[in-house]
Amino acid sequence: MRDTLSDADFQEDCCSVLVALTPSHDLEVFQRMIETEDKLALQKLTDDCKAVVDAGVVNVLLESARTHPDDPDIQELMCRILFHLARTDDDSVNRALSSTVDQVVKAMRSHQQHVGVQLTACGALRNFAIGSDNK
């Protein structure tokens, strides 16, 4: 992705692939994991999120979002990935994600009329705000 930062269409395609690779569960599945204290499933989610962060995905996402601030699709995909990654309570993941808050807020300000950006950004910020102590 870094070699093609100027190509917005390619960046959007790459972000779509990253969404597919990012560990995610719909809200009901995630809630059930928490309610039943499914430690194995929660640990797998944490391990998968950590692997994505350790692979450098967050930095690449930020580069792409900063290069294409006027592209709502790239901004929405970035927020969607961050939303899913922020569901974990792993400290190293949370530290990596703390650097993304400003970009999420910029996306919200730049795309106030784009429902997808607003929804995914709010979800990401909510998950950031919950913090590892409350998950």
- Dihedral over Cα of 97, 47, 45, 1: its sign: positive
More confident site: 88 or 6: 88
What value does the CA radius of gyration of the chain take, rounded to a whole number of Å?
14
Rounded Cα distance between 121 and 107, Å, is: 8
Task: Evaluate if residue 46 carries a pLDDT over 80.
Answer: yes
More confident site: 57 or 105: 105
Confidence of residue 23 (pLDDT cuts 50, 70, 90): low
Q: Output the pLDDT for position 26.
A: 62
Residue 131 phi/psi, 5° resolution?
Answer: 75, 155
Rounded Cα distance between 87 and 100, Å, is: 14
Confidence of residue 104 (pLDDT cuts 50, 70, 90): very high
Average pLDDT, the chain: 83
Rounded Cα distance between 35 and 41, Å, is: 12
Q: Report how far Cα 52 is from the mean position of its chain's Cα atoms.
A: 10
The Cα angle at residue 110 between residues 109 and 115, in degrees rounded to 5: 80
Instruction: Name the nearest CA neighbour of 58 among 115, 109, 96.
Output: 96
